[in-house]
Amino acid sequence: MASVDSIAVRDPAEPCHRAGPGFMALLRVELLLALRRRADIANPLLFFVTVLALLPLGVGPEPELLARMAPGMIWVMALLATLLSQESLFRSDFEDGSLEQLTLSPQPLYFAVLAKVTVHWLVTGLPLALLSPLLAMMLNLPAAGYPSLLLSLLLGTACLSLIGAVGAALTVSLRRAGLLLALIVMPLYVPVLIFGTGAVQAALDGYAYSVQLAVLAALLAAAAALAPLAAAGAIRISLDS
């Protein structure tokens, strides 16, 4: 029998001390898993590119019309492409039981959710933002709108991933919850959409767009602090139901 001195006593504050390394380990694992599911990465990007490529065929090839519609259409398609991949954010972990193991882990569930959302943005939101100037060129958007479009999408898609995580957590135990997920998160997406398109339009009109970017950054800071907590609580509720 092991002596008392040989028994490791865990410090209650140990999870907090190990939060940084634990988060990085989770981030690395989630990124490797995401890269193995290439279809989940490709589907939102293909949707984003395909719909915007078909837009001139539907509304006509007039350069002035396309330029006027480009900011709103690019942002709406980026929003829908992000939403398209949100349902699978926690689904595979729920089905194989690893999501329940995460709730029992000494590592706070907040960091696990934040790692998953960060990877979701890296494989979905970041590519969408980087592709946006190329698609904007195809839609005849003036060059003055490119910087604001890229910056607003970098901030906005991160907000969308964080907000969508709450809806994905609430519906993770439901089958075919795509429509319900959209109904939950779409009203919360509206402020991000308004300020994102507003930044691009302000740049096209020759005005400063720093105010819109500052609001998007504030929304991102609030979402980064609150959304993982709400998603963690929603996951526990979904697992208990």
Question: Model pTM?
Answer: 0.85
pLDDT per residue as tens digits for the range 148-172: 999 999 999 999 999 999 999 988 8
Weakly modelled stretches of the chain, pLDDT under 50: 1-17
pLDDT for position 180: 85
pLDDT for position 144: 92
pLDDT per residue as tens digits for the range 100-134: 888 887 778 888 899 999 999 999 999 999 999 99
CA 156 – CA 83 distance, rounded (Å)? 13
CA 43 – CA 81 distance, rounded (Å)? 8
Distances (CA, A) of 28 to 20, 41, 118, 239: 12, 17, 11, 25
CB atoms within 10 A of CB 188: 18
pLDDT for position 17: 46
CA 111 – CA 106 distance, rounded (Å)? 11
Distances (CA, A) of 197 to 39, 42, 64, 93: 29, 25, 17, 34
Q: Which H or E run contains 51? A: helix 38-59
Domain spans, the chain: 27-240
Q: Which of 61, 52, 68 is nearest to 204 (CA)?
A: 68
What is the SS3 assignment for 159-220? HHHHHHHHHHHHCCCCCCCHHHHHHHHHHHHHHHHHHHHHHHHHHHCCCCCHHHHHHHHHHH
Angle between helices 146-170 and 178-204 (to 10 degrees): 160
CA 93 – CA 50 distance, rounded (Å)? 30
